Structure 1
Amino acid sequence: MEYKLREVLSILEKLNSKTDIVTKDDIDEQYDNLEDLKVLSSELDKVLGGFNTVNLNDGNKVEEMLFEFHRIITTFEWHFSEISDLNTKILKEYKDKFNND
């Protein structure tokens, strides 16, 4: 997934280079965030891998695992939302800027 999001950012960066709709810093920030996404993916792998060792009769341990799922999933959502926001900014202005230049 990280690779595909990197491709999306690369395309947005190319489109933006023709129009300067968003700042280079905005795009660079999303590339930096992809590194965090890799870490997050590894954290999810650890939680998933540890499932078989969780005593399903221990409500505290199950709750701990579910909270980790929640934290990781909402952070994934945030990362996707940030890239989506960047895409939306370019989407709203690209055609008009490009056609007017």
Structure 2
Amino acid sequence: MVLPLWSDTKIHLDGDGGFTVNTVERTHVFKPVSVQAMWSALQILHKACEVSRRHRYFPGGMALTWLGYYDSCVSSEQSCINQWNAMKDLETTRPVSPDIFVDKSV
């Protein structure tokens, strides 16, 4: 997963052993496997968010153009991505697929 951290990024503990990252009107939910993993992730995220706010990173700007390389390295199968997006215990899930993609022959 590649998640750019723009100057509007907000991080919140969700009270359920995880945290959410809100940026550019999108919410990403993370459930680390341990408190130590969560603590490490939160420290890194807060440092990165501080830099993005200080330098006013915004979508479409030149500051994070190098992200394209990392986006191109994502090699997860679409089925794995769909499963992640459809997990019921997440606060936000993927949008409902348009009817055009629903198999109507069943």
TM-score by length of structure 1 reads: 0.28
Higher relative contact order (CA 8 A, sep 6+): 1
Q: Which has the larger radius of gyration?
A: 1
More helix as a share of residues: 1
More strand as a share of residues: 2
